[in-house]
Every structure is written in structure tokens, then in C-alpha cells.
């Protein structure tokens, strides 16, 4: 294994699964060359004249698509922890006796623990994609043959577009579809809202299979995936478990600690002049993030102002703001609850977006840079404001990157995080795994103080006369260490089990095997 020290000072691999990899060169420093990936030209003469692309079942579709050893198979994660399809897909691949596949999901979840048997028996050689929970633990302990690759949502689109990852077969679960392959996630028992995480797959994969449990007469309206990209359509009984695909309801945290983080975050934004008429924001669907949104809402009502747009993940709170006229548009990437789906179906101002529009760094711009303030999480931050979202301080890879790296390009990035978790400090000397460079992270909000990145002299200036508990990041670290003591470093071996890509496809860091002996 060859290593190189990248521009962030991290020792990274220069080869990943037999292909050369470029070390991170600094934010905005790497200029891609060459042309986008170009799939083969198709011809209508090879497709049914009447538009009916239905085949008997997934096995027939995979056979027709030419599934063979070593291929790259992609799936999307809009069904989250309720997904049945990815498990079923690899059951079929296993039954066909295919080996050495690369699974390229937009993310994997605890429900995909089922696939560990196929990582063990060689059906799947490696996973490139977020590995939340059990699969991450399996990888951390050295169980996966190939090296994992973690990319942001935008980085995944970039890797497909640039031909860094060539998808042989995309298998796209579609809550509603017609026989031509036009599909949406809005309707049907498995409704998940959007299908944007499968957009790049549909555009660039050599073969595209739509699997649906709600086949409707042509035309399926609206279409989010265009049938003109689709080779085969199959009916399956159930794509997933509806209650786990979309929660019936999302809830704001009731934890006093987290409510305090949220309140401090909102007060900071207010003091810094960020919450002004026509501003824009993005805040996740976690309990703290939802609470930040609610504090924003109160401030906006008080001031009599509104936001031009909010970026989703959408949820009932954001939908309420849209419907109250506090937000002109939701630019949504995924829906987290039933209200999000309802609004997306009914309201033209609840707009579909995708990793292409919002996050692809190798586009002609993207939406991330237009957002005034984004509220994100992290497992660790360090004295340089670098942050980690994928590993815990014990070195275990347990979370995906999602859109996190992409959102760092927003005008102001705030991480409301507790100063420690289970008596382990969250502010460290150096993060265990580097996911986002500190120069893009502006503010750390903890229950014991707010640290502003010294690069943001404007924010320091604007909040210096506020009554907010502004401290240095060093002060926050000292306080955490005083309370928790300095934790032991993680017990890691030499072997690299996964690479962390930056938004431009370069290698930002690596994850090493945890020593379990």
C-alpha cells in the first residue's frame, strides 16, 4: 500500500482497489480534466416498439442486463432503514452465483445487515457508499475484502458523472412507475417523496432496472426518473416497510441540553445578522436541527420577515413554515415524514432538487453556495475547526457523510454539538477522521460556549457585543478535557479499510481497521 500526505496533512492511500487516487489538494485547488462519462448510445430499434419494458422478475432483468462477476451494481437509499430491495437484489445475485460485485448504494442502513453474509461469501467484494451501523462495524473490524469508499451525496454524483465509478447496472426502487420506466417516489405504499439519489445512476449507468410495487398505466405523472433512461421494469411485491421508509411524524427534541444548543444557535444567527428578510437556510431532520428551525420561525415571526427558501430534508415543521408563508420555497432533497410527502405532492413551491442541482462540485455551480446558513452535526471537531462525521472517537466507522461535505460551501456553517458525549470530549486536538476542512466550518455551538472560526472576522465583529457566550475553540477543548479527562487514542491497525473522498473526488482521509484483539 502506498501513502502520501495530502494538503490537509493526512496520510492517505494513493491507490484504492487497484485504481490510482489523487490526494486532497486543498479546497478548490484540484482542477478536473477530461470529459464526463459517456454511456453507450442506445437505439429505439432495440427497445419494445410499444414502450412496454416489463420483464417477469428481477432475475430476468438482471440476466437481460448481463449481470456478471465483478460488476458494479447501484441502489438508492430513499427507503432508508425500511429498504427490502437491496437485500432482495443480492439474494438474487447470490442465487445466480455471481461473485465479486461492487455495491454502490447512495447509503446503507442497519436493515442491510442481511448483506454481511454476501460480503463473507464473496458475492459482494466491497461497498462504496455510506455504511451506517452494522455494516460499518463489520468494515471497521476488517471483514470486507475490498476497501470501502465513502462519498458525500454530491461526491457520489460527481464520481458517476466523471466516470470515476462506472455503474454497470442501476437497480432503482420506484414507489410508482409505468411500463416504460417513468417513475416517482410520491405515490404508492412505499412512497418516499423523491428519487433524486438515483438520478445520476439513471443518467449514466449502462443498464437501468426499475423495480416497483405500484405499476400504473402510462404515463406515470409526474416522472422523477425518466423512462427514456430505463432498460427493464419489474414488479415486486413490496419495496420496503412503509413505517421505516417515512416516519409518520418527526419530533423536535425534548432534551433540555439539545434545546439549549438549538436556542444558542438561533440566537447566534440573529446576532450575526443572518436572519434577515429573504435569507435562506438548511437544517437537518435531527431533533436539535428541528429545534433550530423552530427558533428561526419564532424570530422570523417576531421580526415580520420571511425566508426566500429553505433546503430540505423536509419535515412537518418546514412544511408548516412553507404553508404559513414564512418560506417561499422548499428546495428538497429528501422527505423525512408524511407531511413532507404530502406537501411535495400538493405544493408546487415544495420543489424537487437532487445531488446534481444542489451538491455536485463538478457542475457549473451548485445550490450549496447560495444558502446563507446551514446547521450540521459532527462526531468530533478539532482545534483547527476540522470535523469528523463518519467515525466515533474509538475509530469505528458508523455513519455516512450524506450531504454534509457539500453543505460546507454554504455562506455560514454552524455545528451545534455537545461538548462531550458519554464522557468523551467532542472537541479534540485532531479529529480521528477528517471529513471537512476547518476553513469551511465557521461556528461551533456547544452548551458551554460558542467558538467562531478566527477566519470569520466578520462574525467575530458582529457578535462581539452580544450577550452570547463566545469563547475560543481552545477554551472549549480545555473545558471538555477538564470535565472528561483526556481520552485514550483509538486502537487502530495499519490496514486501511475505507477511504473518505472529498467533493472533488480526491482523498481526504482514510479509516483504519480497529484493533479488536
Q: Which residues bind its own copies (CB under 8 A)?
A: 28-51, 53, 161-162, 180-181, 208, 217-219, 221-222, 226-231, 278, 308-309, 329, 331, 348-349, 351, 356-357, 360-367, 369-370, 409, 411, 504
Closest approach of its own copies to the CB of residue 374, in Å: 14
Q: Is 494 helix (H, G, I), strand (E, B) or coil?
A: strand
Q: Which is nearer to its own copies, 3 or 47 (CB)?
A: 47
Closest approach of its own copies to the CB of residue 446, in Å: 28
Closest approach of its own copies to the CB of residue 354, in Å: 9
Alpha helices (runs of H) in 336-400, residue ranges in sequence order: 338-346, 355-358
DSSP calls for 67-116? --TT-EEEE--TTGGGB-HHHHHHHHHHHTT--SEEEEES-B-GGGGGGH
Closest approach of its own copies to the CB of residue 157, in Å: 10
Q: Which is nearer to its own copies, 40 or 467 (CB)?
A: 40
Q: Which is nearer to its own copies, 35 or 517 (CB)?
A: 35
- The dihedral built from the CA positions of residue 354, 359, 365 and 367, taken in this order, carries a sign that is positive
Closest approach of its own copies to the CB of residue 55, in Å: 14
Q: Which is nearer to its own copies, 504 or 509 (CB)?
A: 504
Q: Where are the beta strands (DSSP E) in 369-454?
A: 373-375, 380-382, 387-388, 412-416, 420-421, 424-425, 427-428, 443-446, 449-452
Closest approach of its own copies to the CB of residue 202, in Å: 10
Closest approach of its own copies to the CB of residue 43, in Å: 6
Closest approach of its own copies to the CB of residue 332, in Å: 12
Q: Which is nearer to its own copies, 242 or 403 (CB)?
A: 403
Count CA atoms within 13 Å of residue 398 on its CB side: 11
Q: Which is nearer to its own copies, 351 or 460 (CB)?
A: 351
Pairing assessment for the beta strands 183-184 and 15-16 based on DSSP bridges: unpaired
Terminal Cα distance for the chain, rounded: 23
DSSP calls for 47-66? S-TT---B-SSHHHHHHHTT
Closest approach of its own copies to the CB of residue 328, in Å: 8
φ, ψ of residue 73 in degrees (nearest 5): -115, 130
Q: Which is nearer to its own copies, 325 or 348 (CB)?
A: 348
C-alpha pair distances (Å), 11 with each of 89, 150, 152, 496: 36, 16, 20, 11
Instruction: Report the run of H or E that residue 172 belongs to, with start and end.
Output: strand 169-174
Q: Of 426, 410, 405, which is closest to residue 372 (Cα–Cα)?
A: 410
Q: Which is nearer to its own copies, 114 or 342 (CB)?
A: 342
Q: Is 209 helix (H, G, I), strand (E, B) or coil?
A: strand
What does the alpha-carbon distance between residue 103 and residue 470 come to, in Å, rounded to a whole number? 45
Q: Which is nearer to its own copies, 3 or 218 (CB)?
A: 218
Closest approach of its own copies to the CB of residue 358, in Å: 9
Radius of gyration of the chain (CA): 23
Q: Is 298 helix (H, G, I), strand (E, B) or coil?
A: helix
Q: Which is nearer to its own copies, 67 or 233 (CB)?
A: 233
Q: Which is nearer to its own copies, 128 or 164 (CB)?
A: 164
Instruction: Return the residue matching grid coordinates 479546497.
Output: 27
Q: Which is nearer to its own copies, 207 or 513 (CB)?
A: 207
What does the alpha-carbon distance between residue 332 and residue 336 come to, in Å, rounded to a whole number? 10
Closest approach of its own copies to the CB of residue 292, in Å: 22
Q: Which is nearer to its own copies, 9 or 219 (CB)?
A: 219
What does the alpha-carbon distance between residue 357 and residue 303 come to, in Å, rounded to a whole number? 31
Closest approach of its own copies to the CB of residue 278, in Å: 7
Chain centroid to CA 419: 24
What does the alpha-carbon distance between residue 331 and residue 350 come to, in Å, rounded to a whole number? 6
* 287-303 vs 256-271: helix crossing angle, rounded to 10: 40
What does the alpha-carbon distance between residue 318 and residue 107 come to, in Å, rounded to a whole number? 24
Q: Of 271, 266, 297, 274, which is closest to residue 372 (Cα–Cα)?
A: 274
Closest approach of its own copies to the CB of residue 27, in Å: 8
Amino acid at each position: 500500500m502506498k501513502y502520501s500526505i495530502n494538503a490537509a496533512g493526512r496520510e492517505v492511500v494513493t491507490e484504492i482497489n487497484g485504481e490510482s487516487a489523487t490526494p486532497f489538494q486543498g479546497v478548490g485547488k484540484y482542477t478536473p480534466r477530461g470529459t464526463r462519462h459517456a454511456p453507450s448510445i442506445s437505439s429505439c430499434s432495440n427497445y419494445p416498439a410499444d414502450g412496454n419494458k416489463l420483464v417477469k422478475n428481477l432475475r430476468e432483468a438482471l440476466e437481460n442486463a448481463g449481470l456478471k462477476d465483478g460488476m458494479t451494481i447501484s441502489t438508492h437509499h430513499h427507503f432508508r432503514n425500511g429498504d427490502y430491495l437491496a437485500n432482495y437484489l443480492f439474494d438474487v445475485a447470490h442465487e445466480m452465483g455471481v461473485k465479486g460485485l461492487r455495491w454502490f448504494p447512495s447509503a446503507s442502513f442497519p436493515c442491510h445487515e442481511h448483506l454481511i453474509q454476501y460480503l463473507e461469501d464473496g458475492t459482494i467484494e466491497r461497498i462504496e457508499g455510506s455504511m451506517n451501523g452494522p455494516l460499518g462495524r463489520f468494515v471497521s473490524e476488517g471483514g470486507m475484502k475490498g476497501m470501502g469508499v465513502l462519498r458525500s451525496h454530491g461526491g457520489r454524483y460527481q464520481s458517476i458523472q466523471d466516470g470515476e465509478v462506472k455503474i454497470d447496472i442501476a437497480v432503482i426502487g420506484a414507489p410508482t412507475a409505468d411500463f416504460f420506466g417513468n417513475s416517482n417516489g410520491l405515490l404508492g405504499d412505499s412512497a418516499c417523496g423523491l428519487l433524486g439519489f438515483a438520478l445520476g445512476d439513471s443518467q449514466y449507468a449502462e443498464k437501468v432496472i426499475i423495480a416497483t410495487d405500484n405499476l400504473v398505466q402510462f404515463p406515470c405523472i409526474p416522472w422523477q426518473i425518466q423512462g427514456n433512461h430505463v432498460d427493464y421494469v419489474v414488479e415486486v411485491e413490496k419495496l420496503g416497510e412503509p413505517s421505516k421508509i417515512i416516519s409518520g411524524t418527526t419530533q423536535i427534541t425534548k432534551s433540555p441540553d439539545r434545546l439549549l444548543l438549538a436556542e444558542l444557535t438561533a440566537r447566534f444567527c440573529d446576532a450575526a445578522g443572518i436572519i434577515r428578510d429573504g435569507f435562506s437556510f438548511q437544517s437537518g431532520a435531527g431533533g436539535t436541527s428541528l429545534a433550530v428551525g423552530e427558533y428561526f420561525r419564532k424570530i422570523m415571526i417576531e421580526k415580520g420577515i420571511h425566508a426566500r427558501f429553505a433546503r430540505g430534508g423536509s419535515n412537518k415543521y418546514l412544511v408548516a413554515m412553507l404553508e404559513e408563508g414564512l418560506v417561499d420555497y422548499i428546495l428538497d432533497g429528501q422527505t423525512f415524514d408524511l407531511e413532507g410527502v404530502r406537501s411535495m405532492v400538493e405544493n408546487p413551491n415544495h420543489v424537487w432538487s437532487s445531488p446534481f442541482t444542489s451538491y455536485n462540485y463538478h457542475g457549473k455551480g451548485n445550490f450549496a453556495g447560495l444558502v446563507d446558513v446551514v446547521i450540521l452535526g459532527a462526531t468530533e471537531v478539532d482545534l483547527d475547526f476540522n470535523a469528523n462525521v463518519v467515525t466515533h472517537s474509538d475509530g469505528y466507522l458508523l455513519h455516512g457523510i450524506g450531504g454534509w461535505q457539500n453543505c460546507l460551501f454554504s455562506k455560514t456553517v454552524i455545528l451545534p454539538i455537545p461538548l462531550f458525549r458519554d464522557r468523551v470530549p467532542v472537541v479534540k486536538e485532531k479529529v480521528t477522521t477528517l471529513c471537512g476542512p476547518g476553513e469551511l466550518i465557521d461556528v461551533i455551538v456547544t452548551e458551554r460556549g460558542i467558538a467562531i472560526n478566527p477566519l470569520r472576522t466578520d462574525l467575530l465583529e458582529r457578535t462581539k457585543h452580544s450577550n452570547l457566550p463566545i469563547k475560543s475553540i481552545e477554551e472549549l477543548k480545555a473545558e471538555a478535557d477538564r470535565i472528561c479527562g483526556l481520552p485514550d487514542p483509538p486502537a487502530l491497525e495499519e490496514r486501511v479499510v475505507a477511504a473518505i473522498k472529498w467533493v472533488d473526488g480526491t482523498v481526504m482521509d482514510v479509516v483504519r481497521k480497529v484493533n479488536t484483539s
